[in-house]
Amino acid sequence: MKIVTANDLKSGAVIWWTGVGWSIDVDEAADVGEDGARVIAREEGAQNAVSAYVIDAEKDGQGVRPAHIKERIRAFGPTVRLDLTVKPADANAVNWVI
Amino acid sequence: MYKYDEYDQQMVDTRVAEFRDQVRRRLAGELTEDQFKPLRLQNGLYLQLHAYMLRVAVPYGTMNSAQMKMLGDIADKYDRGYGHFTTRTNIQYNWIKLEDTPDALADLAKVEMHAIQTSGNCIRNISSDQYAGASADEVVDPRPYAELLRQWSSFHPEFLVLPRKFKIAVIASEIDRAAMRLHDIGINLVKNDAGEVGAEFYVGGGMGRTPFVAKKIKDFVPIDQMVTYAEACVRVYNRYGRRDNKYKARIKILVHELGLEAYSKEVDAEFAHLLTQPIEPPLAELERIQAMFVDPAFETGLSDDLDLSDPDFRLWVERNTFAHKAPGYVIANVSLKPIGGIPGDATSDQIRLMAELAKDYSFDELRVTHAQNIVFPHVKKNDLYTLWQKLEKADLSTPNLDTVGDIIACPGLDYCSLANARSIPVAQKISERFGTAERQAEIGELKLKISGCINACGHHHAGHIGILGVDKKGKENYQLLLGGSEGADTSLAKITGPGFDEDGVVDATEKAIDVYLANKQGDERFLDTYRRIGMAPFKEAIYG
């Protein structure tokens, strides 16, 4: 699947396009198919997001998993400060992030 | 310490107000990101892997306790309770919000700090010797000269859009503690036979994807021409440096491609021309600055004796202190590398504690080192045990300076959008594997440096052991390098061979250290043994 990620303009937080808006939870990311460029143009134009781009991902029983480690770390947070991650209680994180 | 005059303060305050308006316009949609990005970068605000990151300048690594306290307060007020001290002697906050940045900068301005020129293709924060003004081996205190260059380079209208970023280091001793020869310009302050102070200039050093050791271009520039000569060096670079390819845009490439002789000829011509222009600050300005860097009021008649009956204190003294020029005083290093910790990170409480301790025990002064540690430059030996006890309670007394545990590591893929691999977990694993005092003592001085990408912010080229993280088909991979050095004997490390996964590079590091221990003669450091026996035995052990 293709998903869109960006940073929130005000906070800088990593965000994922859900199909109707933005979420900090990668599991809510929507498959944009070939529509990514249009989503990015509209959302950046509306000043809702910055540095948006399309990435490859897979959806499994656990959630949406970006294909590349860089985006998996973006989705999760710093692997060395679990207290600062998006889901500090995610016991399975080590299995899908790294 | 330097104290802002009305011009300094006005410049910083005006810049904060200007940036506040730029942020307002960005949030109101009046500026696009393309328009805003260069403006935020000029104020040290990056967009990193997880959030905005604010890089605050600590000029030549020197701070007073009020400034350090403010850094701790900002970590709490605008970030997540910690800061990261960098290899450029700055501090970075990893979770700053755009809308909060003007307020954070305004708070910094209250204590004469800012984030100007901590990003972009300009002259960056000037670094220096962390023991400046305290060690006995310096020719002069290099900080007034670094301050003069800071003033020259701040908002320099000709050098705000150079081909690439530009880094300068100023030292004044034979022992180079600032990696001077790995800078775009390195200045070593020396005295001639007549006892006059002058500047020995080096150009074209740097790390990154194409590392070079800087070459000496001038033995002695009279001190009243130092700024003019620096101007000539940068002006020639600005004119001829490559703007068509960012990977070939640093001055090191220009000096390499042009050749030192041809580059030097251009600089001499420009220098001769500039000497006809009134650009050199009057010596009175240098003297005004120097007056702010006079020695603190050291007590006299103090004893040099220390009670070392506490073995933990003794170990810390042996490892983390350095001789001071004044009898009865010592330079104390605070390692920000606890075993298994994140190199360079300090919590807001730790930052404020160090500020308080500097006030009580070090004449209100602290230094940030390029090795991501903190220095109390002027500690009375009578106070050292008390200071150590207070550091110990805050997990700031790790006795590992310049050992395998004192690892320089960039933020890597845990924080940095440019990184290809994580640096911090590798540093943590190595730190834990070699964490015991006995193991560190057995190994002795060993400088280990880790970068998460070819940009080399973790100085892997200059590590006795260097580790470079790369992306290999979407997976983290780590190359091992040996034989680098950043001191007076600066050299570039060489790659051992094929890379490893995270655990593999930790194992390979141990094998390299074992080769050293098996071949060590006398007091040889790892680097000395490597230079004597060469790469082959290490490769054999690692890959054989």
B535: pLDDT strictly greater than 80: yes
- Express each pLDDT in A22-34 by its tens digit: 999 999 999 999 9
What value does the mean pLDDT take over residues B520-543? 98
Q: CA dist B140 to B110, B199, B299, Å?
A: 30, 11, 21
Distance of alpha carbon B496 from the chain centroid: 26
Distance of alpha carbon B43 from alpha carbon B36, whole angstroms: 11
- Express each pLDDT in B144-197 by its tens digit: 999 999 999 999 999 999 999 999 999 999 999 999 999 999 999 999 999 999
- Express each pLDDT in B249-277 by its tens digit: 999 999 999 999 999 999 999 999 999 98
Whether residues A78 and B97 touch (CB distance < 8 A) is answered with no
Pairing state of beta strands A14-17 and A22-23? antiparallel
Which of B50, B54, B420 is most worth mutating to test chain A (most A CB atoms within 10 A of its CB)? B50
HEC-encoded secondary structure of B134-159 = CCCCECCCCHHHHHHHHHHHCCCCCC
Token readout for B492 is 């570039």
Note whether B103 and B24 are within 8 A (CB). no
Domains of chain A, by residue range, sit at 2-97
Distance of alpha carbon A93 from alpha carbon A79, whole angstroms: 9
Shortest distance, CA A10 to any CA of chain B (angstroms): 5
Q: Which CATH number is associated with domain B6-110?
A: 3.90.480.20
**Selecting from 3.30.413.10, 3.20.20.10, 3.10.440.10, 3.90.1150.10, what CATH number does the domain B134-291 have?**
3.30.413.10
Token readout for B496 is 């051992």
Residue A32 has a CB neighbour count (10 Å cut-off) of: 18
Shortest distance, CA B489 to any CA of chain A (angstroms): 34
Note whether B356 and B403 are within 8 A (CB). no
- In CATH, B311-393 is 3.30.70.3340: yes
What value does the mean pLDDT take over residues B493-520? 98
Q: Does B503 touch chain A (CB under 8 A)?
A: no
Residue B51 has a CB neighbour count (10 Å cut-off) of: 24
pTM flag (> 0.95):
yes
Kindly tell me the burial class for residue B99, based on how many C-beta atoms sit within 10 Å of its own C-beta (0-12, 13-18, 19 or more): middle
Quick one: pLDDT band at residue B488, thresholds 50, 70, 90? confident
Identical fold, B6-110 and B311-393:
no
Quick one: pLDDT band at residue B331, thresholds 50, 70, 90? very high
Strand order in the sheet with B127-128: B127-128, B168-171, B185-191, B197-203, B215-222
Q: CA dist B293 to B106, B144, B319, B365, Å?
A: 26, 7, 28, 11
Residue B66 has a CB neighbour count (10 Å cut-off) of: 15
Residue type, position A79, single letter: T
If DSSP codes are grouped into helix, strand and coil, which group holds residue B173? strand
Which B residues in the span 211-230 are in contact with A, Cβ-Cβ below 8 Å? none
Token readout for B481 is 């390098």
Residue A58 has a CB neighbour count (10 Å cut-off) of: 11
Token readout for B39 is 């403006």
Residue B54 has, within 13 A of its CA and on its CB side, a CA count of: 29
Pairing state of beta strands B52-56 and B408-409? unpaired
- Express each pLDDT in B214-259 by its tens digit: 999 999 999 999 999 999 999 999 999 999 999 999 999 999 999 9
Whether residues B26 and A44 touch (CB distance < 8 A) is answered with no
Question: What phi and psi values does residue A38 have, to the nearest 5 degrees?
Answer: -70, -40
**Superfamily of chain region B408-543:** Sulfite Reductase Hemoprotein, domain 1 (3.30.413.10)
Pairing state of beta strands B127-128 and B168-171? parallel
What value does the mean pLDDT take over residues B286-303? 96
Nearest to B82 by CA among B393, B336, B335, B349: B349
Whether residues B99 and A10 touch (CB distance < 8 A) is answered with yes
Q: Which residue in chain B is spatially nearest to A75 when comparing CA positions?
A: B50
What per-residue confidence (pLDDT) applies to B435? 87
Question: What phi and psi values does residue B366 have, to the nearest 5 degrees?
Answer: -135, 160
Kindly tell me the burial class for residue B445, based on how many C-beta atoms sit within 10 Å of its own C-beta (0-12, 13-18, 19 or more): middle
What per-residue confidence (pLDDT) applies to A96? 86
Note whether B328 and B302 are within 8 A (CB). yes
Quick one: pLDDT band at residue A88, thresholds 50, 70, 90? confident
Looking at residue A61, the DSSP 8-state letter turns out to be S
Chain A residues lying within 8 Å of B414, measured CB to CB: 73, 78-81
Shortest distance, CA B480 to any CA of chain A (angstroms): 21
Residue type, position A50, single letter: V
Q: Does B24 touch chain A (CB under 8 A)?
A: no
Average pLDDT, rounded, for chain B = 97
Q: Does A36 touch chain B (CB under 8 A)?
A: no
Question: What phi and psi values does residue B507 have, to the nearest 5 degrees?
Answer: -60, -45
- Express each pLDDT in B41-88 by its tens digit: 999 999 999 999 999 999 999 999 999 999 999 999 999 999 999 999
Q: Which residues contact B263 (CB under 8 A, 6 or more apart)?
A: B203, B204, B217, B236, B254, B255
Domains of chain B, by residue range, sit at 6-110, 134-291, 311-393, 408-543
Nearest to A12 among B26, B52, B80 (CB): B52
Nearest to B425 among A11, A50, A79 (CB): A79
